[in-house]
Structure 1
Amino acid sequence: MGTSDIPGPQVRTTAGVVRGLVDQQLGIRTWRGVPFGASTGGDNRFRAPRRPRHWRGVRDATNFGPVAPQPTYSWTDRVIGSENCLHLDIVRPDTDEELPVVVYLHGGSFIMGSSHEPMLRGYQFATAVNCVYVSVNFRLGALGYLDLRSLGEDCVANPALRDQLLALQWVQANIAQFGGDPGQVTLMGESAGGAAVATLMAVPAAEGLFHRAIVQSPPMTMVHSRAQATLWARELVYQMALPRQTTLKDLRAEHPHDLVRAGQSMMWRGRELQHLNTTYAPTVDGTLLLDHPLKVFDAGQQLQVPMLVGTNSDETSFSKFFYMRTSARSRAALRLLTAFDPEEASFVLSAYDGALDRAQFADLLADALFWAPSVRLATDHNPLAPTWMYRFDYAPAALRWLGLGAMHSLELSVIFGDPGASRTSGLSRFGGMEGMAELTDEMQHHWGRFIHHGCPGAEWPAYRPPTDTAPARATMVFDSPSHVEFDPKARKRRAWVDYDMTEWGNGRPELLAELGLLISAELGR
């Protein structure tokens, strides 16, 4: 503990008493590494999570718990983390006031990340917004986001999704003891965490566990189809150098770090990313997640809670440097679009002028992964529950000069009010950060209003279809200064209307046949 830290209040949870700490300098109380589930190792691997074991006495909650097993992306193949990873961290202002609750699900491409990354610890956010902030650890990669039912039925298709549900159930049972209001829970996440929030909105079992949703840059097209689940389960066994008859029992006997390494190997050595076939994601399993979240939203069967959703203007600006030749860019764009919907792919591509130049290619990739699915979420949700949409355009001068702009996850440093924790924090020494402090105040005002009242500030209009008296699709553009745009990029939005982004593999009949799924897919039409 630092010099400003003193022992925090003891709080009784359903599993036992925890003692955190008070940071007098920051004006917060925090409890770290609080278990909401038992270890997921050994016989519990690939199974639904269980509640934590009870403990006697007072559990020290001043240190963060272990992260989920994950790669480090270093020059070695080192893996960090433990399967005893179902912990959460709680931060609140150092007051006795009952406050609304934010449950945060971290991003990291379903592969990496933790509840206590420096950016996501929420110290400044909790005090600025005046909330109880809960950040959640859950299983990742091959241990959390692979459907292995093709190897045996003694598992669940969505371990990580079930971890997140268990955490929400823990919040309902325990958060009042920390001064949180269990009737005012906002579920919030970015990137893979944003996709998790939108996915949980499509899960009937999540009814009543949260009451508002903040969905930031969700890659909703990544949700796995049956074809992807079968492909990646088979590939994991191959990368582990195990026989084709391998069972779940065999995989449970392997070291978790070896499974992570094999998972990374199958992700990078294959060529599936060029078909937008990501290795890890939630799976439509027919039991917990009954259908693709975008289909659930389209049918109006999602949880009817207020939703705030948006993306950054330059989510995948790094892709400008992928291909040297214009023809290669255009072929790559058509290939990734065709993997989902071969009939509509050319029409979408034409809205981006063939994605021949670098900017159009990056724009297409960003829209395919993030913006177009977010527009669809907002369009389908607003008839049922209040909906607001944003676009984050702000970028330091150095990123604009590099041609990267408001890249993926850049908004986190503004929303969490901690630019020093950002991966791009080093850019601040080059200057060009004017307006960032004011933008932090502005965004935290809107996020705070939504968390407390279910709607952002009055200057942010709801996302609605056009009427006789009001224009359509209001989008708050966060920049210096911010402003509202109506139906931004209308031509490109219309190009995506009939494109099916819910069933990966439709444009890969040769792969479906190889996996034995082509006949069953045709019978299901």
Structure 2
Amino acid sequence: MKRAILGALLAGCIPIAASAQPVATPVVETESGKVQGLEDRGIDAFLGIRYAAPPIGDLRFMPPEKPAKDSGISDATGYGAPCMQLYTPSGPNESDVTRGIQAIFPTSTEAKIDNEDCLFLNVWTPAAGDGGKRPVMVWFHGGGYAYGSGNWPAYNGRNLAEKGDVVVVTVNHRLNAFGYLNLAEKFGEDYAASGNVGNLDLVRSLEWVRDNIAAFGGDPGNVTIMGESGGGSKVSHLMAMPVADGLFHKAIVQSGPGVVSGKPAEAAAYAADILKAAGVETSEDLVAVRADEIVDAVRKATPPGSGMGRGPQFGPIADGTIVPRDPFLPAAPEQSRDIPLLIGYNKDEMTLFVASQPWFGRLDEAGLAAMSAMLGKQAVAAVDAYRKAYPDYSPTHLAAIAMGGRFVRGTYLLADQQSRTASAPVFVYRLVWETPVAGGMFRTPHTLDIPFMFDNAQESAALVGTGEAPERMGQIMSDAWISFAKSGSPSSELLPEWKPYTAKARMVMELDIESRLTDDPEKAIRELSD
């Protein structure tokens, strides 16, 4: 127990100076046994709760199963392992900015402790066991489907739970080859679900919430699922998965619209290359091969330059059963017509990804023209449209914002599809506030929304800066997200009236120090054809 308490202190679960003696939470009874965590400045934090059996041995590449019953009291004072990681994102060169951002999203650190046994979740609640029926906000992490963790400091749910009197849950699940390796063609019906088990883990976590969250003071009848980037795609797919129907009641998609799924044949071909690289020929080999050998095989089988939509990708596949079809094409999923949706994106999504490129900050008009011409007519049109909208943008920032068009078009396509058939409202946002860090080079980058909606602006100063402005943005966005979880409408006294989005009146809340509701603010980009 002393080691668990020390680990919690070192991990920042409780502030060392706040109390000489850590305070234990109440013991909570779950379906698989009792758990106990530590109080974090008045909020009960239960970390590393096992929500499914370890997906190892004969359960590798299989749908998740309920965990075994534990007769004792499980230690929930430290995070559970994340899934084996495949990718460590590079920042804008190796700099203080890079290191600061990696402290908020510490993939490189977590790669040291990742594990195939990774099906854990974390719960923050104002009062475990008090019989309360608080809204539940379940977070699915970003990192595409290749890396990431619900344990990242930016996702710490303590502040959000306290501010909103809500229960916050973050989830780890199987990623990359462990969660999305389509083995059905190679090994038959026994592995029919293998290409989607990562998403089935998410379903299992929601079943855990349904069956256990009341003991933590949460309302299983009011569950909001939310996620950013790859997490947004996970939310989008859950809206279209029959096995997830009824497990959540509201949805939030941040910078990650999941309009289409992978194709089984392409996923099977990628899997075949990975199996070959791993030397796996039989189902017995599949169970026996070491997890690190699978990771190495993925690296060998993946063509150089893959990523960001290029080359083979991991992710859910439209297998006709678990994911019956592309989630939002040709139409929104009927099963989610009564699910209120909050969806949006950040103005300059791509600066976070391209700031390390040699041309960033050095591009001139001739270079911009050559780059956009090389990328095609759509890129040329996007640059022209953004030049009109942002005449003060440098060629570097015009190139970066134009590259983010897929976030823009995907968001509006999904919002259009949902609003055309849904009985529940759709609300769309566009974050436009610009971070001052690194001399303002990022403007409004990918992930900037996360510290604000989690009310973690102070803890994320490396990304959002310090002072009154980021604090106010945190107040605005966490208010709206909490309100949405409670009522299905992202209203706040700090915002103008937020009217729903429809295909006829595309009302979008532009989130800033002084936010404003606008009508179809990126019409020119939205209407660009692929």
Do both share a fold (TM > 0.5)? yes
- Counterpart amino acid of 1:184? N
| Contact 1:42–1:253 (CA under 8 A) maintained in structure 2 | yes
Shift of 1:217: 0.8
Secondary structure (helix, strand or coil) at the match of 1:485 reads strand
The aligned residue for residue 338 of structure 2 is 304
Which residue of the other structure, out of 314, 321, 336, is the alignment partner of 1:280? 314
Cα contact 1:145–1:160 (8 A) shared by 2 = yes
Question: 2:255 & 2:47 partners in 1: Cα distance?
Answer: 27
Match of 1:376 in 2: 413
State the one-letter code of the partner of 1:330. S
Rounded Cα–Cα distance in structure 2 between residues aligned with 1:359 and 1:278: 29
The answer on 1:29 being equivalent to 2:44 is yes
CA-CA distance at 1:239 after TM superposition: 3.5
**1:137-176 CA-partner distances (Å, limit 9, x unpaired):** 1001110123222322232220110000011111111111
Distance 1:210 1:421, change over 3 A: same
SS in 1 for 2:251: strand
Distance 1:354 1:277 in 2: 29
Query: What is the Cα deviation at residue 304 of structure 1?
Result: 2.6
Structure 1 Cα separation of the partners of residues 218 and 309 of structure 2: 44
Preserved contact between residue 118 and residue 172 of structure 2 (Cα < 8 Å): yes
- The CA distance in 1 between the partners of 2:118 and 2:205, in whole Å, is 12
Q: Is the 8 A contact 2:373 2:379 kept in 1?
A: no
Q: 1:393 to 1:228 in 2, by over 3 A?
A: farther
2:82 is the counterpart of 1:67 = yes
Contact 1:79–1:261 (Cα < 8 Å) also in 2: no
Measured after TM superposition, the shift of residue 127 of structure 1 is 0.8
2:471 is paired with a residue of what secondary structure? helix
Give yes or no for the alignment of 1:86 onto 2:101.
Answer: no
- Cα 1:332–1:88 change in 2 (3 A) is farther
> What are the residue-to-residue correspondences of 1:70-219 with 2, within 5 Å?
70-71=85-86, 73=88, 80-94=113-127, 96=130, 97-153=132-188, 154-155=190-191, 156=193, 157-219=195-257
Separation of aligned partners in 2, 1:139 and 1:310? 26
- The count of aligned residue pairs is 469
For 1:206 and 1:296, locate their aligned partners in 2 and report how far apart those are by CA, in whole Å.
20
Q: How much has 1:91 moved relative to structure 2? A: 0.4
Change (3 A) 1:296 1:88: farther
Distance 1:185 1:391 in 2: 24
Change in 2 beyond 3 A, CA 1:252/1:371 = farther
The whole-number CA distance in structure 1 between the counterparts of 2:514 and 2:385 is 33
Q: Which residue of 2 aligns with 1:50?
A: 65
Give yes or no for the alignment of 1:394 onto 2:433.
yes
8 Å CA contact retained: 2:250, 2:485:
yes
Cα 1:400–1:208 change in 2 (3 A) is: farther
Unmatched 5+ stretches in structure 1: 335-345, 467-471, 500-525
* Structure 1 segments (4+ residues) deviating >6 Å: 74-78
SS of residue matched to 2:122: strand
User: Cα offset for 1:277?
Assistant: 3.6
In structure 2, the partner of 1:292 is 326
Aligned counterpart in structure 1 of residue 444 of structure 2, from 406, 409, 420: 406
> Structure 1 residues 31, 434: CA separation in 2 closer, same or farther (over 3 Å shift)?
closer
Deviations 1:188-210 (A, max 9, x none): 11111111001100112211100
**How far does the alpha carbon of each residue in 1:386-425 deviate from its partner, in whole angstroms, 9 at most, with x for none?**
11000111222235632x2111111111111223543x61
Q: Which residue of 2 aligns with 1:333?
A: 375
1-side partners of 2:239 and 2:110: how far apart?
Answer: 36
3-state SS in 2 of match to 1:7: coil
Mean Cα deviation higher: 256-265 or 66-75: 66-75
Query: Relative to structure 1, is the Cα distance of residues 17 and 78 closer, same or farther in structure 2, using a 3 angstrom cutoff?
Result: closer
Change (3 A) 1:308 1:88: same
The alignment-based identity, stated in percent, is 32
Tell me how far apart the structure 1 counterparts of residues 169 and 508 of structure 2 sit (CA, whole Å): 28
Matches within 5 A, 1:224-235: 224-235=262-273
**Cα drift, residue 51 of structure 1:** 0.6
- Relative to structure 1, is the Cα distance of residues 239 and 399 closer, same or farther in structure 2, using a 3 angstrom cutoff? farther
Amino acid at match of 1:413: P
AA in 2 matched with 1:123: R
The 8 Å contact of residues 408 and 525 in structure 2, kept in 1 or not, is answered as no
Letter in 1 for 2:26: P
Structure 2 vs 1, CA of residues 79 and 225 (structure 1 numbering), >3 Å: closer, same or farther? farther
Aligned equivalents of 1:161, 1:354: Cα separation in 2: 37
Which of residues 428, 437, 456 in structure 1 aligns to 2:490? 456
CA contact (8 A) 2:448 2:464 kept: no
Change (3 A) 1:332 1:122: farther
Q: Which residue of 2 aligns with 1:446?
A: 480
| Deviation, structure 1 residue 76 | 12
Does the 8 Å contact 1:355/1:361 carry over to 2?
no
1:82-110 deviations in Å (ceiling 9; x for gaps): 22211111101147332111111111121
Deviation at residue 351 of structure 1 after TM alignment: 4.8
The aligned amino acid for 1:279 is Q
Cα drift, residue 115 of structure 1: 1.8
Aligned counterparts of 1:292 and 1:419: Cα–Cα separation in 2 = 36
Q: Is the 8 A contact 2:82 2:110 kept in 1?
A: no
Separation of aligned partners in 2, 1:261 and 1:126? 39
Contact 1:297–1:380 (CA under 8 A) maintained in structure 2:
yes
Q: 2:274–2:297: 8 Å Cα contact kept in structure 1?
A: yes
- Provide the C-alpha distance between the structure 1 equivalents of 2:498 and 2:108, rounded to a whole number of angstroms: 46
What do residues 275-314 of structure 1 show as CA deviations (whole Å, max 9, x unaligned)? 6345211111111000011216446554530000000111
> What TM-score, normalized by structure 2, do the two folds share?
0.81
Give the equivalent residue in structure 1 for 2:96.
none
